[in-house]
């Protein structure tokens, strides 16, 4: 496709693929409906993820029939259906099947010490891998055999004990990911079974497979333990040419030194993990032409990543689309997670992979809005991520399912009708930032070997390791704030660096400078590469202290120094801190690709595609930013609008002293794509800003309609118990009052089951009256069912025409002695066309009158999640017709759609909340309808004063000129 066509309508590979929670009984009709919904809203695919709450048996005929159906449905719509290799997570147990054999379970090793008084005999149990003895104050020596006769006096005994991984989340243990045998059991149980049941996976329509959070250290982490497998000693001896068991006291810090042993240990552990788990799975997928994506546990540098996987670079290179997850309502700035997307993007570049994935938005809570999703996605895309997998689209939110890592960004969210705006936006950005050449002049050295060498197992991280952790992410953030983009280089890759002509190359990537963060150790081959690079390029080091040199070859090099001072090496500049000021001065000789003064919160990504220099800028702050970008690339500059697919010359662009300057204006969490065509001469386009001469306030009080009604959660229940011969009846009763007749009244129930739970069909006729719940209004059963809302498993019952008075709702649950029934498990709401009197007890429901600008939670709609319609008539003066007119809504919570005289003027899912209405208004009366959609937080969690909904400020028409 031509770049312009690709941008306007990106194909499915660039469109979001939802992390789709299969968490209920799977129905073909519901699967079909949900795929159609995703396709309609601009998604390009989905991951079929077995999740707790699933009642269709995993790996059953029904399960694989659902997978096959969804693959065929996706292929028919041009979508991409990804399989997930596990039930729940992390990948490895194969729903428990692969770890049913204890030999396939991960083990850990720790060192325990005790004092012994001799003479005595000490027996070592079967879990003692090796034992060590010594007098107090003396070195420990290894003991051969399974027991030791203790001589008279005081002794120390240290035992290296192995023990099985404890239960994690859903499983009694975890897979031994260091063992090829154990990992083969997982591949057989999951990957082979998919092929056996589905046939040729490509012919089935499977787009690829997702593997999730594999690790050799599980949570919660005990920092005194390390991963272990039976083959570890032999693998270590074969690789390092000495016996690890002789030197375990050094490894655990009981003896002097130990840095080299610790480096060697983690090098072997990482290699075992890579060769047992990731390499065979990648090979399995590669043979079948099936792409592999996913992520490991612990992308975050440095400590968490090291504890979970050793070195992320070893593993991600085996994924066709290296990935990460991004949880919670944050973007990582200012935290140790700040470099996670940079790490993943760097690993992909070094492995020659074009695509990088993020499983994102999970654990953000029901308050998550499209505005915040854009903010989070922009930060990741500006750091090199170019495939978005929203976590998650819930097949069902019934019962406890809605509390599993919310939110659902799917049809249950009020903003879902507008989701295509977001899906199209991310598709266009990722299409533009995939392929071509990543432009970054600076490389950052990754100090994982230092972490390996200095980490002594114990209750807390050693100070040296914590200092590296505390300084690495801030160093990266300082470079980003300076708009000095970079690639992170692991030592194995860097060791192969070639330097020439003022530059150095690593794995096909070219750089002009190297920044070395705070570290304590360096591999001998990386040190040799550092000398080569420093002879040609500026090297900036944050380490003034001597650095130990680690041996990588089996045979010792007699000429290898024990330590080195990087700051004394020719070509190396030492700086005291990694502050922006120090870095700017040290890198002053490197011509900047981008200069963006006064905008440290604006991040950028630069890719080169033939003559097109593509820049994606993202404002990572919640404040507007204006700045002028000075670019080394010179040519015709155009803004490519990722929201609309339109393109226009960049206003105000001009060439100044050989560089292209382009004014940039960002709304809060705003962004832009700037494309410079260097094959075409620069064009100076006048910058014409909209300058309102008049502001006309639309109204003080709006007519207001909550679409399909307001909600009152029923929370305060009176509880009674009645006992019978065969059954026990639980009664829940609550009350509400009406001041007038109200329309559209109904009750929505989540967690009150339509049919008896756990009663076999053949027994239902016998125990029917003693197991089926009843919903009563003023003592009379409600029986008229209405179409479902929010979830097909929710029960909706009509309340009919209610008299103005106080009413009672009773839910009666009967539990037969043979088949106990659950009580109210989740939510119940009264819904209808009403507002809520906030001061009444019991709650009083009153007619909807009008509403003023400000949170609708404070004006009778505290629990309303959905779309609220604001309507007003406004007299437009005839003299303004023909001028440019914008509707300015100020601050909105959270999404705005504007209609003028029955026609949609525009949708604003995020700032600025300004829409051009010039062509839609006329002289005289005009009808304005402003629709505002919020999040599901009010419905499921209740109001939050920090998360207001609605039109929060006065709305104006702004007329250009006088």
Instruction: For residues 332 and 474, give the distance between their C-alpha atoms in angstroms, rounded to a whole number.
Output: 11
Could you tell me how far CA 266 lies from the centroid of its own chain? Answer: 28
Tokens of 815: 């539990």
Q: What is the mean pLDDT of residues 171-196?
A: 98
* Model pLDDT, residue 962: 63
Residue 229, SS3 per DSSP = coil
Torsion of CA 18, 24, 26, 31, to 10 degrees: -30
Give CA angle at 808 (803, 810), nearest 5°. Answer: 135
Instruction: For residues 570 and 359, give the distance between their C-alpha atoms in angstroms, rounded to a whole number.
Output: 44
Q: What is the mean pLDDT of residues 158-179?
A: 95
* Model pLDDT, residue 561: 84
Describe the strand order of the beta sheet including 895-900 as a list of residue ranges: 850-851, 702-706, 867-876, 924-933, 895-900, 903-908
Instruction: For residues 858 and 835, give the distance between their C-alpha atoms in angstroms, rounded to a whole number.
Output: 11
Where is 377: in which H helix or E strand?
helix 370-382
Backbone angles phi, psi at 296, to 5 degrees: -90, 170
Cis peptide preceding 302, ω within 30 of 0: yes
Distances (CA, A) of 930 to 874, 912, 950: 13, 15, 10
| Partner residues linked to 956 by β-bridges | 697, 888
Closest-CA residue to 15 (of 381, 358, 430, 415): 430
| Per-residue model confidence as pLDDT tens digits over 843-888 | 999 999 899 999 999 999 999 999 999 999 999 999 999 999 999 9
Instruction: For residues 519 and 451, give the distance between their C-alpha atoms in angstroms, rounded to a whole number.
Output: 8
pLDDT category of residue 1 using cuts at 50, 70 and 90: confident
Torsion of CA 891, 895, 900, 906, to 10 degrees: 110
- Number of residues that this document lists for the chain: 962
Residue 493, SS3 per DSSP = helix
pLDDT category of residue 91 using cuts at 50, 70 and 90: very high
* Model pLDDT, residue 351: 98
| Per-residue model confidence as pLDDT tens digits over 730-739 | 899 999 999 9
Instruction: For residues 915 and 889, give the distance between their C-alpha atoms in angstroms, rounded to a whole number.
Output: 9
**Up-side HSE of residue 633: CA atoms within 13 Å toward CB?**
26
Handedness of CA 501, 504, 509, 510 (dihedral sign): negative
| Per-residue model confidence as pLDDT tens digits over 400-459 | 999 999 999 999 999 999 999 999 999 999 999 999 999 999 999 999 999 999 999 998
Describe the strand order of the beta sheet including 503-506 as a list of residue ranges: 498-500, 503-506, 509-511
> Please, what is the angle between helix 28-40 and helix 61-77, to 10°?
30
pLDDT category of residue 766 using cuts at 50, 70 and 90: confident
What is the percent of the chain where pLDDT is above 90? Answer: 88
The Cα diameter of the chain in Å comes to: 109
- CB-CB contact of 537 with 443 (8 Å): no
Closest-CA residue to 296 (of 287, 307, 285, 286): 307
Token pair 């060697």 is found at 264
For 954, counting Cβ atoms within 10 Å of its Cβ (0-12 exposed, 13-18 middle, 19+ buried), the class is: middle
Instruction: For residues 123 and 522, give the distance between their C-alpha atoms in angstroms, rounded to a whole number.
Output: 41
Q: What is the mean pLDDT of residues 937-959?
A: 96
* Model pLDDT, residue 541: 97
| Partner residues linked to 81 by β-bridges | 46, 206
Could you tell me how far CA 289 lies from the centroid of its own chain? Answer: 27
* Model pLDDT, residue 553: 82
pLDDT category of residue 169 using cuts at 50, 70 and 90: confident
- CB-CB contact of 217 with 308 (8 Å): yes
| Per-residue model confidence as pLDDT tens digits over 526-577 | 999 999 999 999 999 999 999 999 999 866 666 778 899 999 999 999 998 8
- CB-CB contact of 660 with 630 (8 Å): yes
pLDDT category of residue 773 using cuts at 50, 70 and 90: confident
- CB-CB contact of 748 with 809 (8 Å): no
* Model pLDDT, residue 556: 61
pLDDT category of residue 690 using cuts at 50, 70 and 90: confident
* Model pLDDT, residue 219: 81
| Per-residue model confidence as pLDDT tens digits over 310-356 | 999 999 999 999 999 999 999 988 888 899 999 999 999 999 999 99
- CB-CB contact of 844 with 737 (8 Å): yes
Between 958 and 766, whose confidence is greater?
958
Q: Does pTM top 0.85 for this prediction?
A: yes
- CB-CB contact of 819 with 758 (8 Å): yes
Closest-CA residue to 161 (of 216, 235, 108, 218): 108
Residue 571, SS3 per DSSP = coil
| Per-residue model confidence as pLDDT tens digits over 366-390 | 999 999 999 999 999 999 999 999 9
Backbone angles phi, psi at 376, to 5 degrees: -70, -40
pLDDT category of residue 838 using cuts at 50, 70 and 90: confident
Q: Is the pLDDT of residue 303 over 80?
A: yes
DSSP states of 580-645: HHHHHHHTTTS--SEE-TT-TTEEEEEEEETTEEEEEEEE-SSS-EEEEEEES--SEEEEE-TTT-
Instruction: For residues 453 and 21, give the distance between their C-alpha atoms in angstroms, rounded to a whole number.
Output: 41
Beta strands 625-631 and 594-595, pairing class: antiparallel
| Per-residue model confidence as pLDDT tens digits over 703-739 | 999 999 999 999 899 999 988 888 888 899 999 999 9
* Model pLDDT, residue 557: 65
| Partner residues linked to 677 by β-bridges | 612, 636
DSSP secondary-structure letter at 885? E
| Per-residue model confidence as pLDDT tens digits over 136-147 | 989 999 999 999
DSSP secondary-structure letter at 647? E
Instruction: For residues 513 and 629, give the distance between their C-alpha atoms in angstroms, rounded to a whole number.
Output: 22
- CB-CB contact of 649 with 676 (8 Å): no
Beta strands 806-816 and 844-846, pairing class: unpaired
Tokens of 901: 């005289």
Q: Is the pLDDT of residue 768 over 90?
A: no
Backbone angles phi, psi at 232, to 5 degrees: -60, -50
* Model pLDDT, residue 700: 96
Mean pLDDT of the chain: 95
Instruction: For residues 122 and 135, give the distance between their C-alpha atoms in angstroms, rounded to a whole number.
Output: 15
Distances (CA, A) of 624 to 308, 604, 627, 683, 817: 39, 16, 10, 27, 64
Could you tell me how far CA 791 lies from the centroid of its own chain? Answer: 24
Burial 526-563 (b: 16+ CB within 10 A, else e): bbebbeebbebbbbbbbbeeebbbbbbeeeeeeeeeee
- CB-CB contact of 405 with 454 (8 Å): no
Handedness of CA 245, 249, 252, 257 (dihedral sign): negative
């Amino acid at each position: 496709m031509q770049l312009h066509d690709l941008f306007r309508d990106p194909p499915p590979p660039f469109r979001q693929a939802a992390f789709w929670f299969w968490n209920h009984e799977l129905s073909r009709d519901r699967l079909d409906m949900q795929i159609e919904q995703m396709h309609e809203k601009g998604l390009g695919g989905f991951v079929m993820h077995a999740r707790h709450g699933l009642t269709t048996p995993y790996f059953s005929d029904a399960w694989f029939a659902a997978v096959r159906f969804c693959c065929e449905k996706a292929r028919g719509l041009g979508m991409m259906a990804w399989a997930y290799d596990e039930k729940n997570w992390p990948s490895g147990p194969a729903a428990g099947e692969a770890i049913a054999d204890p030999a396939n379970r991960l083990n850990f090793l720790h060192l325990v010490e005790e004092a012994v008084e001799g003479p005595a005999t000490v027996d070592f149990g079967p879990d003692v891998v090796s034992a060590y003895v010594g007098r107090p104050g003396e070195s420990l020596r290894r003991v051969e055999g399974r027991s030791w006769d203790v001589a008279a006096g005081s002794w120390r005994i240290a035992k290296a004990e192995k023990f099985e991984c404890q239960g994690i989340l859903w499983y009694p243990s975890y897979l031994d990911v260091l063992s090829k045998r154990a990992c083969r059991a997982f591949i057989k149980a999951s990957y082979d079974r998919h092929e056996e049941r589905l046939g040729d996976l490509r012919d089935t329509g499977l787009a690829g497979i997702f593997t999730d959070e594999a690790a050799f250290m599980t949570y919660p982490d005990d920092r005194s333990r390390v991963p272990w497998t039976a083959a570890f000693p032999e693998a270590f001896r074969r690789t390092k040419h000495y016996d690890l068991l002789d030197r375990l006291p050094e490894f655990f810090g009981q003896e002097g030194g130990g840095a080299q042993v610790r480096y060697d240990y983690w090098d072997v552990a990482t290699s075992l993990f890579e060769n047992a788990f990731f390499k065979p799975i990648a090979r399995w997928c590669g043979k079948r032409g099936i792409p592999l994506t996913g992520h490991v546990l612990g992308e975050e540098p440095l400590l968490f990543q090291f504890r979970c996987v050793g070195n992320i670079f070893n593993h991600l290179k085996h994924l066709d689309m290296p990935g990460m997850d991004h949880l919670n309502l944050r973007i990582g700035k200012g935290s140790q997670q700040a470099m996670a997307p940079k790490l993943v993007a760097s690993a992909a570049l070094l492995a020659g992979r074009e695509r990088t994935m993020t499983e994102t938005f999970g654990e953000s809570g029901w308050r998550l809005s499209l505005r915040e999703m854009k903010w989070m996605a922009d930060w990741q895309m500006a750091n090199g991520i170019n495939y978005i997998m929203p976590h998650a689209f819930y097949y069902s939110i019934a019962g406890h399912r809605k509390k599993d890592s919310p939110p659902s960004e799917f049809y249950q969210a009020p903003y879902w009708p507008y989701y295509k705006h977001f899906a199209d936006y991310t598709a266009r950005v990722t299409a533009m930032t995939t392929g071509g050449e990543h432009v970054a002049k600076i490389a950052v050295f990754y100090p994982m070997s230092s972490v390996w060498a200095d980490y002594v197992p114990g209750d807390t991280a050693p100070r040296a390791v914590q200092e590296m952790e505390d300084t690495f992410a801030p160093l990266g953030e300082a470079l980003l704030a300076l708009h000095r983009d970079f690639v992170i280089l692991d030592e194995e890759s860097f060791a192969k660096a070639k330097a020439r002509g003022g530059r150095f190359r690593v794995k096909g990537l070219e750089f002009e400078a190297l920044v070395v963060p705070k570290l304590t150790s360096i591999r001998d081959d990386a040190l040799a590469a550092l000398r080569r690079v420093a002879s040609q390029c500026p090297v900036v080091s944050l380490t003034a202290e001597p650095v130990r040199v680690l041996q990588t070859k089996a045979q010792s090099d007699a000429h290898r120094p024990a330590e080195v001072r990087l700051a004394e090496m020719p070509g190396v500049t030492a700086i005291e801190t990694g502050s922006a000021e120090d870095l700017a001065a040290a890198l002053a000789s490197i011509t900047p690709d981008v200069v963006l003064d006064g905008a440290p919160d604006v991040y950028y990504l630069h890719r080169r595609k033939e003559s097109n220099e593509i820049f994606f800028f993202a404002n990572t702050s919640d404040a507007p930013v204006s700045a002028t970008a000075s670019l080394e690339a010179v040519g015709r500059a155009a803004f490519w609008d990722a929201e609309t697919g339109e393109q226009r010359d960049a206003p105000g662009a001009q060439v100044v002293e050989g560089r292209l300057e382009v004014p940039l204006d960002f709304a809060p969490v705003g962004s832009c794509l700037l494309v410079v065509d260097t094959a075409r001469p620069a064009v100076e386009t006048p910058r014409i800003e909209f300058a309102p001469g008049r502001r006309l306030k639309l109204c003080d009080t709006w007519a207001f309609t909550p679409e399909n009604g307001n909600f009152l959660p029923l929370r305060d229940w009176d509880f009674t118990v009645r006992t019978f011969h065969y059954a026990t009846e639980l009664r829940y009763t609550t009350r509400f009052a009406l001041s007038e007749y109200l329309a559209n009244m109904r009750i929505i129930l989540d967690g009150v089951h339509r049919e008896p739970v756990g009663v076999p069909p053949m027994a239902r006729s016998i125990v029917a009256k003693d197991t089926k719940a009843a919903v009563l209004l003023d003592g009379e059963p409600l029986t008229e069912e209405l179409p479902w809302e929010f979830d097909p498993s929710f029960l909706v019952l009509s309340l009919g025409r209610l008299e103005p008075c106080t009413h009672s709702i009773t839910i009666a649950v009967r539990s037969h002695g043979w088949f106990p029934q659950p009580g109210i498990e989740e939510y119940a709401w009264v819904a209808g066309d009403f507002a809520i009197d906030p001061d009444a007890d019991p709650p009083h429901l009153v007619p909807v009158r009008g509403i003023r600008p400000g949170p609708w939670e404070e004006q009778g709609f505290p629990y309303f999640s959905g779309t609220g319609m604001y309507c007003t008539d406004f007299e437009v003066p005839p003299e303004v017709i023909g001028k440019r007119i914008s509707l300015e809504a100020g601050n909105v919570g959270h999404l705005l759609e504007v209609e003028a005289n029955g026609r949609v003027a525009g949708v604003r899912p995020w700032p600025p909340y300004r829409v051009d209405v010039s062509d839609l208004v006329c002289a005289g009366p005009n009808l304005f309808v402003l629709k505002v959609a919020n999040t599901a937080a009010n419905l499921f969690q209740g109001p939050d004063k920090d998360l207001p909904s609605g039109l929060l400020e006065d709305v104006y028409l702004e007329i250009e000129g006088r």
